[in-house]
Amino acid sequence: MSIRQTIAFSLTIAVALVALLVPVYVNVKLTNDGPEQVTTSTLFETGGPSVFVPLLIPVALTGLPLLLTGRAQRYASVATTVALAIFTIIASATIGWFYVPALAAAVASVVARPESRSDPGGKNR
């Protein structure tokens, strides 16, 4: 489970960095006496430091199960995957769609069979 959970965590970090650093807003200013002016801005430039909160919620949700072990990790994975799904749906008007791949990896982590420690060769999977 932890490999899939690590993938989900990595995807949320990647999405947060892309959303912060890649220009996602385009402003076009038309003038009567000259060429149009096109400017681009990042989410951070537009929203300021307050954008860290919604971007870090999915990072925290997918990272929490990685800090736990055993049964607690399993329960935390289920709870945080449900919370990530709710976040993705609520934020789908803005940044939520960016987190769909991370949500898919988190769901795969939850529904996958637990790794068997007594079968190191993986023959009974």
Residue 117: inside a domain, yes or no?
Answer: no
Residue 81: inside a domain, yes or no?
Answer: yes
Q: What angle do CA 13, 18, 20 make, to 5 degrees?
A: 95
* Mean pLDDT for all residues in the chain: 86
Band (pLDDT 50/70/90 cuts) for residue 15 is: very high
Q: Confirm whether pTM is higher than 0.75.
A: yes
Residue 116: inside a domain, yes or no?
Answer: no
Range of the domain at 21: 2-111
Residue 119: inside a domain, yes or no?
Answer: no
Q: Six-digit token pair at 98?
A: 């960016």
Residue 101: inside a domain, yes or no?
Answer: yes
Report the domain count for the chain.
1
The per-residue pLDDT for range 77-124, each reduced to its tens digit, is 999 999 999 999 999 988 889 899 999 999 999 998 766 555 555 555
Q: Which amino acid is at 60?
A: A
Residue 20: inside a domain, yes or no?
Answer: yes
